[in-house]
Structure formats: C-alpha cells, structure tokens
Chains A and B, each alone.
Chain A
Amino acid sequence: MAQLTCSGLTLGYEGQAVLRELSFTVHAGDYLCIVGENGSGKSTLMKTVLGLMKPLSGQIEWGEGLHANEIGYLPQQTVVQKDFPATVREIVLSGCQGRAGKRPFYSREEKRLARENMERMGVTQFARRCYRNLSGGQQQRVLLARALCATQKLLLLDEPVSGLDPMVTAEMYDLIARLHQEGVTVIMISHDIAAAVRYATHILHVGQHVFFGTAEAYRQTEMARRFLPGPDAAGKTQEEEKKHRKKKDKKKGKKKEKKRAEGKGTAGKGGEDE
C-alpha cells in the first residue's frame, strides 16, 4: 500500500525552483534514503512533504489511514533546543501533542506510550535529566523517542547522525534499522551514501541527476560509483573497478592511483577522485 506518492513536484523558495518534476512513491515498510550534494534540496523536499513549505507545483498524496498527526519527524536540531531547559520526559511527551489534539492534558495512555518509547530508545535513565546536559547521541535518541510518540507508521529523519562521532553514528543506524524491522516506514536524509546504500531499500538521489529506485539499482549507476568507496561496497568486480580507474587516471593523469589499482584493487578512494 502506497503511503506517500509525490508526482511532478517542483520545489523551491520564493519562486526559484530547486528541484523540478520530482516523482516517487513510498510504500509501507520501505526504507527510503534521500541523498545528494549539499544544497540540492533534500531538506526542502522533506519540509515540503511534511507541509512546512508549499510546493511550487505538483502533488503530494498520502495513503489511506495516514493522517498528519501520525507522522514522526526528527528535524535538525536548532541552537535554541540545545540550550532548552526541559527534562527528557517533557520532551518525549510533547511528541504526543499531535494525537492529543485539542485536549489540554496528556492522558495516561499517552504517558505510557512516552515511557515505552523511552525504553525503546534506551533513554529511560535520563528521564528526569535536563536535555541540555546530554551528549549529542543521547539527544538524538531522545528526539527519536519523541518522533515515535507521534507515529507508529512513518518516520521522517533529517540527517539524524550529523555531528555524531563514528561509534555513536553506527549505533544510531542500528537503532533506525531495528525500527524499520519492527515495521516502521523510514524516510531519511543522509550525507552518508555508503550507509544509505547499506541499510535502505530505496534511494532517492536529487541534484543534477535525479535517481529513484531500489538500493540495488542505485549501486549500478554512475552516480553511485562516484560517491562510493570501492568495489566491495559498490558490489562491482575488481576488473571493472580497474578499468574504471584507468579511464579516470587517463583523464587526470595521476600515476599514484594507477599503481594502487594495479597492485591492490581493494577498497580504495574511488569517491575522492572527484
């Protein structure tokens, strides 16, 4: 069942289009990664899909049974939030605001939900701690718990691992993968194409070239080859990789690269040739 269908979307600010005629579909249970260069409009796309901005043209359709208050969003953190005086519990509870609607106070059900999601994200021990005293990774997990309070079906994550150190980043990806296995549809913006390709079921690459399709298909494309580290990660054979490198080296004439390709042919620095 299609949860989200975008057709012919043109997005931008103040009349200036950043992305044109974008069309893609997300089905329940998908894990879609949105990748692309800086400034290619990834955040704009997510904000438009969420209704925070209006598209210049095109349509966004939500599937049956999915209301605005059933979408969980993990935005990039603002300066204000890093310094905000609030306990973890208060922040996670605020995720239930969408389902609370016009009711002024949270029900026992909602408080239980908040407790459960804090358990899921492993932040229960911080429940009464102040948000600003937590580390970056812990703060992201709190915000993820909040997003889960708003939804059981669909999560939209805007660069959830930016600014986190490698170990915490890996933990975060595992956490998100686990949620995906539990049945949550994930749409994530990421700078980290290697990780994107590893975890996602579908990739949407925006920028100069637009690609939408399965992660498998993406690996075969020219774009992926530019961005991804090496044959193992890209799934290509060593021979193909050698040929590819020779072509490039001819263009650029780097002798060092040639030697490396001839001698080793293992995970090199394909993406950095650019």
Chain B
Amino acid sequence: MFRTIEMYLKVPFVQYALIVGVLIALCSSLLGVTLVLKRFSFIGDGLSHVAFGAMAVAGVLQPLLKDVVKELAKGPTILNEGIHGAITGVVTFLSANSMPFVLLATTLSAILLLRGGKRTRIKGDAAIAMISVGALALGYMLLSLFSASTNLSGDVCSTLFGSTSILTLTQAEVWLCVSLSAVVAVIFFLFYNKIFAVTFDEDFARASGTGVDAYNLLIAVVIAVIIVLAMNLVGSLLISALIIFPAMSAMRVFRSFRGVTVCSAVFSVTCALLGILVSIVFSTPVGSTIVAVDIVGFLIFSVIGRIRGGIAK
C-alpha cells in the first residue's frame, strides 16, 4: 500500500490537492473555534447553502456574460480603448470563473448574519434556516431550468458533496486557494487577541473601547471566504464538519484558548491529510472520507477527555 501512496504522491495534481486541502482545513478549524464558542455553528451550514445558490446563479449568468463579451467585441468602443479593454477583461473573467460572484454573495450574507454579533437583527435559528434552505432550493431549480451542462446531477452532487473537486482544480484556482488561505491564517495570527476578547465577552470589549463591530465584520468576511474555499474540498453540505469537529474535539481535552486553537488546527490538518490520502488510495469520495476521519478523531478525543477528567480533578 505504501508503494501505491508513493506513486500517487508523485502526481502533480495530487500534490496540489494535498496542499490546498491542508490549508483549507487549517483555516476552517481556526475560525471554527470562534464560531462554535459564539454558538454560531449552524451558520456554516447556512452560508454554504447560500454559496451553492450563488454558484447556481453564476452558472446561469455565465452564458449571458459570454454573449455580452461577444457584443462588446463587435459593438462600438465604450468611452475609450483602455476602459473598453478593461470592461471586456472583467466580463470575460467573470464569464469563465464563478468564484468571485460566489464570494461576493456569501460575504454579503455573512455580514448580514454575523456583523451584529450578539445584537444581530436576523436572529434566531428559524431565520437562518429559511435563508439556507431557500438558497439551496432556488439554486437547484435554477440549475435544472437553465444549466447547459450535460451532467447536471453530477455537477450538483459534486458541488454538494465534493467528490473529486479538490483533484480537478485548475492552476488559477490552486493559486487563489493558497493565497486566500495564507491571508486568512495571517489575519488570524495578527488578530488573535482581539478575536479572543470579542468571543469571550463582547460587552466588556465594547465597554473598554475595543472596536467590536469592526472585528465582528472581519470575522464574518473571513468565514465567508473560508466557506467558499472549503466547498472545493468537502462540498457544500459537509463544510460544517470542517468547522465544528476540530473545535469540539480540542475542547474535550484542552483547557486554554490557545491550547484549543492549536489543537484544533493540528487535528483538522491531520484528519484532512489522512482523509485525502485514504480517499485517493481506496477511491472513496474525498469529502465524506475527511468527515469520517473527523468523527473517529472526535471519538478518540472524547475518550481521552473523559479519562483525563476522571483522573485529574
């Protein structure tokens, strides 16, 4: 079996898949600690459904945008050559890549849901559930009405469950994922103390002059970015697992916020690596395999936590 793994590890797109997968798992776990402690775990699910809906809309709009590009090429020059060229470039880019639109839609929803922090207006699990399921249903309907794809259910299935998306990333997508993940990791590192303050006690942070609203906004945007990236790894429906399992497992065993954060990251990266390797070797879907490894890890950590709690008091 090791020789099989060796063979697969030599393949370039497998290497990219491992790198991107590890980075995405790392970022999700870091922000996952904050989300879980703020009791916002279900938002990962809600936002990922919005992302799915946005992808459907983008898929419908892309043929229209391609027509616009053709018109721009034929028609009169807008304003001047430079601006015309820029507009054509942007529209061409958007017609071929759905990620910018999906990022925008998901970020706006995240801001709407999370910016208020404790005082969010669209409060309550019912409101988030409405948005989440509505986006999912409308997205699927749009796809079935307007999609030109030859394998619609395959596309939907792969977006929802992420069977091989991580292995079929283009070079551009790989670079985008790597750079966004790096940015998220750096942001988390720099704002660690502020994220802690805002997560532990918003009222105190606000009263002592910390710009809580700004940090809530930052957290919302970062989470949206992570969710859109993670769709490539585990698919829309399973993103919550990447966010929740590492944090919950770490909290069973560690007592300090720093310990929980670091453990969460290590747990997530290890499970993602194992999951991707197992799925490559045994030909199982990547997303479900990673979640299965997460579950096993969580059970192991729960047992460790119980033993420690029993002995040390």
A122-138 contact mask (Cβ, 8 Å, vs B): 1 or 0: 00000011100100000
Q: Are B204 and A73 in contact (CB under 8 A)?
A: yes
**Is the CB of B197 closer than 8 A to any CB of chain A?**
yes
- Proximity bits, A29-73, B CB within 8 Å = 1, else 0: 000000000000000000100111000000000000001110111
Distance in angstroms between the alpha carbons of A188 and B89 in the assembled complex: 62
Query: Which residue on A lies nearest to B206, using beta carbons?
Result: A52
Contact of B204 among A67, A68, A75, A106 (CB under 8 A): A75
Bound together, the chains give a CA A176 to CA B103 distance in angstroms of 51
B257 to A73, Cβ gap below 8 A?
A: no
| Contact pick for A85, options B205, B207, B209, B257, CB 8 Å | B257
Whether B255 lies near A85 (C-beta < 8 A) is yes
Q: Contacting A130 at CB < 8 Å: which of B38, B201, B256? A: B256
Q: Which residues B239-259 have CB closer than 8 A to chain A?
A: 251, 254-259
Contact between chains at B257 and A86 (CB < 8 Å): yes
Nearest CB in chain B to that of A147: its residue: B204
A94 lies within 8 A of B255 (CB): no
Mark interface residues in A86-130 (1 if CB within 8 Å of B CB, else 0).
Answer: 110011011101101000111000000000000000000000111
Q: A87 near B193 (CB under 8 angstroms)?
A: no
Interface contact A84-B209, CB-CB below 8 Å: no
Are A97 and B206 touching (Cβ within 8 A)?
no
Judging by beta carbons under 8 Å apart, are B204 and A86 in contact? no
Question: Is B37 located at the chain interface by the 8 A CB criterion?
Answer: yes
In the assembled complex, the Cα of A92 lies from the Cα of B208 at a distance in Å of 13
Residue B260 is within 8 A (CB to CB) of chain A in the complex:
yes
Q: A81-B201, A104-B193 are in contact. Are A97 and B39 (CB under 8 A)?
A: no
Is A150 a contact of B208 with CB atoms below 8 Å? Answer: yes
Q: Name A97's closest neighbour in chain B (CB-CB).
A: B197
**Chain A contact residues: helix, strand, loop or mixed:** mixed
The yes or no answer to A146 lying at the interface (CB within 8 A) is: yes
Question: Are B208 and A68 closer than 8 Å at their CB atoms?
Answer: yes
Residues of chain B within 8 A (CB-CB) of A128 are: 256
| B-side interface residues, number (CB < 8 Å) | 28
Q: Within the assembled complex, what's the spacing in Å between the Cα atoms of A67 and B209?
A: 8
Inter-subunit contact B257/A90 (CB<8 Å): yes
A57–B259 alpha-carbon span in the complex (Å): 46
Interface residues of B in 250-302 (CB under 8 A from A): 251, 254-260
CB distance B257 to A87 under 8 Å? yes
CA distance A95 to B210 in the complex (A): 10
CB of A147, distance to nearest CB on chain B (Å): 8
Q: Please give, as numbers and ranges, the residues of chain B lying within 8 Å of A81 by CB-CB distance.
A: 200-201
Assess whether A105 is in contact with B204, with CB atoms less than 8 Å apart: no
Asked if B66 is an interface residue, CB under 8 A from chain A, the answer is no
Chain A residue nearest in CB terms to B254: A85
B166: min CB distance to chain A, Å:
31
B207 touches A97 (CB 8 A): no
Which residues on the A side are within 8 Å of B175 (C-beta)?
none
Shortest CB–CB separation between residue A136 and chain B, in angstroms? 17
Q: Kindly report which residue of chain B lies nearest to residue A47, judged by CB atoms.
A: B203
**A80 an interface residue at 8 Å Cβ cutoff?**
yes
Whether B193 pairs with A85 at a CB distance below 8 angstroms is no
B207 touches A90 (CB 8 A): no
Contact call B201/A75, Cβ cutoff below 8 A: yes
B267 vs chain A, min Cβ distance (A): 14
B256 and A95 contacting across the interface, CB-CB below 8 Å: no
B257 CB contacts on chain A under 8 angstroms: 84-87, 90
Contact A100 B255 (CB under 8 A): no
Whether, in the assembled complex, B146 has its beta carbon less than 8 Å from a beta carbon of chain A, the answer is no
Is A215 part of the contact surface with B, judged by Cβ < 8 Å?
no
The CA of A154 and the CA of B74, in the complex, are separated in Å by: 70
CB distance from A2 to the nearest CB of B (A): 20
Q: Is the CB of A196 closer than 8 A to any CB of chain B?
A: no
A71 CA / B196 CA spacing, docked (Å) = 19
**Known contacts A69-B208, A73-B204, A75-B204; A86/B191 CB under 8 A:** no
Q: A86-B196, A97-B193 are in contact. Are A80 and B260 (CB under 8 A)?
A: no
- Is A19 interfacial (CB-CB < 8 Å)? no
Asked whether B255 lies within 8 Å of A129 as measured between CB atoms, the reply is yes
Which residues of A are found within 8 Å of B207, using beta-carbon distances? 50-52, 68, 71, 73, 75, 156
Q: Smallest Cβ distance from A91 to chain B, in angstroms?
A: 7
Query: Please, how many angstroms separate the alpha-carbon atoms of A52 and B247 in the complex?
Result: 30
Distance A47 CA – B204 CA, assembled complex (angstroms): 10
Q: Which residues on B sit within 8 Å (CB–CB) of A80?
A: 37-39
- Can you list 30 A-B pairs with a CB-CB distance of less than 8 A? A50-B203, A50-B207, A67-B209, A68-B208, A68-B209, A71-B209, A73-B203, A73-B204, A73-B207, A81-B201, A84-B200, A85-B254, A85-B257, A85-B260, A87-B257, A90-B256, A90-B257, A90-B258, A91-B200, A97-B193, A97-B197, A97-B208, A98-B205, A104-B190, A104-B194, A105-B193, A130-B256, A146-B204, A150-B208, A151-B208
The 8 closest A-B pairs by CB, nearest first: A98-B208, A69-B209, A130-B255, A68-B209, A73-B207, A98-B209, A150-B208, A87-B256
List 8 additional contacts besides A84-B200, A95-B208, A105-B193; criterion CB under 8 Å. A50-B206, A71-B209, A85-B256, A86-B257, A98-B209, A100-B193, A130-B256, A146-B204
